[in-house]
Amino acid sequence: MPRIEAHPVLDTRDDRREVSFTFDGVPLVGREGEMVSSALFANGITRFSIHRKDGAPQGIFCANGQCAQCTVIIDGHAQKSCVTPLRAGMDIRTLNRLPVLPPDDEPLRNYEKKVINCDVLVVGGGPSGLTAAIELAKLGVRVVLADDKDRLGGKLVLQTHKFFGSEEDCYAGTRGYAIARILEEELRSYKNVTVFTETAVVGVYKDRKAGLFEKNRRYLLVSFEGLVVSAGAREKSIVFPGNDLPGVYGAGAFQTLVNRDLVRAAKRVLVVGSGNVGLIAAYHALQAGITVVGIVEITSEISGYKVHADKIKRMGVPIYLNTTVLSAAGDGKVERVTVAAVDPQWNPILETARTYEVDTLLIAAGLTPADEFYEMAERFEFKVVKAGDADEIAEASSAMFGGRIAGLKMARLLGEDVVIDDTWFKKAAVLKSRPGEVFPPDRVILTDRFQPVFTCLQEIPCNPCTTVCPKGAIKLKDKSGTIMDVPYLAGECIGCGVCVAACPGLAITLARKVDAQHAEVVLPHEYLATFTVGDKIPVTDIEGNFLENATVVKLQFNKKYQTTLITVQVAVENAATVAGIRVQDEKETQPLPAPEFDHVPENGIVCRCERVTLGEVVKFIKEHKVRDINQLKQIRVGMGACGSKTCSVQFPRVFKAAGVDFSTVAEGSIRPLSVEVPMYAIVNEEKTE
C-alpha cells in the first residue's frame, strides 16, 4: 500500500532515513523509527501471524499495544509490531502459530533495581493526562508522566480536524495534532516533570509503586504519593462471522496508520458506527484518498454531531441507519462485507442484505474506559483521581478541561491549598454534553454583499465562529446561555471568510447575489483541490443531495486554519442551500449486484486472542451453568495476550444470548500486569546503553 505523499492538512515530508529490513526473507524498505506495523502496511503486508488454533490469518486490530494481534517475530523474538520501532537490518517474520523460545544460557548481567520517586504519577499522556500534569507542575508538584506511545498527545495526535468547544478553554478551532504539540511543549517546560514515552504502566502495587515497561525493554518502579489515571479508552469489538479477518480493525488503528504514520492503509473501506469516532474516521479516509463506501449504524439515529455527519454526506458518503453487519469474507483477508437492515429488536432482515467490495472494515462501535488502575488504587486506598475517557467517554475538548480539574483535585488530596473555580465545573459539564436539539435553518435573503449562511443547526458545545469574527457580528442564540447555543448573524458581515475557515464543522458558507440569475458562495474545503478557476465542480446541499455543477471563481488558502476557501458561482436559487463540494462519485458506493454471504452468527469470534466463537461460549455457559466469568477460562476465553481487554466488553451480550442475566454473574479477576513483560526486562537483564 502506498504512503500518503500529499495531504490537504498534514505535512507529508519525512526526514527519517530509509532503512532495509526483511519480511519472511524478502528484502523491503521502511523508515527508521516508524512502527514495524506501519512499515509492513506501507509494503502491502497486512497479515502478521498464523493462529495456533486453526491456522487462521491474523492482522492488526488496535495499533495501540493492547491486543497483541499484530505480533510478529523480530530477530527471533515475538514482539508487538505496533509499538516496536523499525531499525535497519531487522529480520521480521510471520508468527506461525506459537513462537519458539530462543536459547538462553547466559548468566544474569547488569542487574539494577531502578526506583524513581515522585509526588504524582500520571498514567497516560493524552489530552487529560497532559493538562492534569501541567496543573500539578504549576504548583511545584513532582510529576512523572508515562505514555506508551512514541509521542505525547494520545488521540490528539491522530486528529486532523479542527476541534469543537471553546477557543478560550480548549483550543477550539485548532487541529488535534497541533494541540498535542502545544500541550507537550508546555509540559516539558517544567523542570519538576519527568516524561517517559514508549513506556507502558503495567501494574500498580499495594506499596504505592507502579511498574513501568520502559521503551518496551526495561522495567522500573515508580514510587508515588498520588495517582492520576488518564489512560484513555479501548475500542469495542463486535461479534459477526469474519470479524477477525485481516482488514477488520478499530477506527483508532486506522487513524494511527493514516494520520500519524501517513500510510494509505486501505483502498475501499466501510465504517461501522455513526458516533463521532466513526464519522471522523470516514472524513480522515477521504482526506487520505481512500474510498468510503458507507457508514452503517444499528440504531435509528446518528449518534455523533450532526455537523460531522452532514459534511460526510456532502462529500458523497451514504449513512445507513437501522443497519448492521452480517459478515466479512475473503481469502485470508477482507474482500467483501455484507450488511442488512434490522427490525426494531435489532435482528437482521436477511432479505435486505447487500454486499460491498471493500478491503477494510473499520469498527467504531464505542469505547470502554481504561480505568482498571483507578479501581485497583481505590481498593488500596490510594490518593487517586481519573480523567478523560478513563473517567467518562467524551470529546477531547472535554478531556482537556476535565484534566485540569483532575490535576487540581489531586493537588488538594496532597494537601495543597487549592481552590477550584466553580465555573470550571459548569464549563466541564457543557463540554461533555451530548448533542441537543436540532433547529430549522434561518431564512436567508440574499443581497449584493456576502453574508454567512449557517448549517450548524444542532446544539453542540462550540463557539469559534463568535470569537474569530473581527467585527463581532456572529452571536449565539440565547436559549441555554452557554456555548451549546447555535449561531446567527447579529451585525454587519464584511465578507472576510474567517468564520468559514475556522468553523470545526465546516458548517458556515458565505453567499451573495451577483445578478438576477447568479450568486457566489464561499465554501470551506479540506481536501486536495484537484480543480482550478473556471472548472465545474459538483456542489451539494446539507444532506449531500446534488444541486448543480458550479463554476469555480476563486481559491484561497487560509494558512492559520489550513482550510481552502472555494468561491463558486451558482444559480441564485441554490445559493442559500449550497453547503459543500462532493469529492466522491456516487458509483463508488454501490453494492454488488447480488449479496454474497453465509449467515452463521455463532461463528463470530468473541475471544480474538484464543479464537473462541460465540457458539462455543454460549454452549459452555448453558452446559455448565456458568455464573462466574473466571469459569470461561476453562475454554481459554480471556486467557490470551490482551488480558481480556477485548472480549470482556462482549460478555453482557454473550450471557444474554445464553439466557443468563449478566447482573447475576461474578466478575472475572484482573491479570496482575496489564501488558506482557518479558522476564529479561523485569530483572533488567539487558545490557545498559
CA distance 204 to 206: 7
> May I ask the CATH class of domain 115-233+369-431?
alpha beta
> Which has the closest alpha carbon to 401: 648, 124, 169?
169
For residue 216, the model assigns a pLDDT of 80
Beta-bridge mates of residue 607: 612
Under 8 Å between Cβ of 422 and 391: no
C-alpha cell recorded at residue 244? 477477525
Region of residue 79 (phi > 0: left; psi between -120 and 50: alpha; otherwise: beta): beta
> What pLDDT digit, counting tens, does each position of 26-62 carry?
999 999 999 999 999 999 999 999 999 999 999 999 9
C-alpha to C-alpha distance for 502 and 464, rounded to whole angstroms = 7
Q: What is the pTM of this model?
A: 0.94
Residue 87: what pLDDT? 97
Q: What are phi and psi of 586, to 5 degrees?
A: -60, -30
Look up residue 570 and give its amino acid. V
- Are the beta carbons of 171 and 400 closer than 8 angstroms? yes
Quote the DSSP letter at residue 46.
-
Nearest residue to 68 (alpha-carbon basis) of 655, 642, 624: 642
CA 293 to chain centre: 19
Which parts of the chain sit beneath pLDDT 70? 1, 104-111, 684-689
pLDDT at residue 688, as a whole number: 43
Q: What is the reported pLDDT for 689?
A: 40
Cα 344-620-627 angle, rounded to 5 deg: 80
Take residue 526 and report the three cell numbers written for it.
Answer: 479540506
The CA distance from 661 to 654, in Å, is 10
Count, residues in the chain: 689
3-state secondary structure 404-449: HHHHHHHHHHCCCCCCCCHHHHHHHHHHCCCCCCECCCCCCCCCCC
Rg of the Cα trace of the chain? 26
* Amino acid letter, 97: R
CB crowding 53-64: b at 16 or more within 10 Å, else e: eeeebbbbbbbb
Class of domain 18-99+237-363: alpha beta
CA dist., res. 639 & res. 633, Å (int): 6
523 SS3 class: strand
What was the pLDDT predicted at 679?
A: 78
Q: Give CA–CA dist 504/471, Å, rounded.
A: 20
Task: State the Cα–Cα distance between residues 64 and 330, nearest whole angstrom.
Answer: 25
Distance CA(163)–CA(173), nearest Å, equals 5
Contacts of 466 (CB under 8 A, 6+ apart): 472, 474, 475, 476, 487
Dump the DSSP string for 120-151. Answer: EEEE--SHHHHHHHHHHHHTT--EEEE-SSSS
Q: Phi, psi at residue 495, to the nearest 5°?
A: 70, 25
Q: Look-up: residue for cell 452446559?
A: 623
In the block, residue with C-alpha cell 468510503: 292
Phi-psi region of 290 (alpha: psi -120 to 50; beta: other; left: phi over 0): beta
The values of phi and psi at residue 546, to 5°, are -65, 135
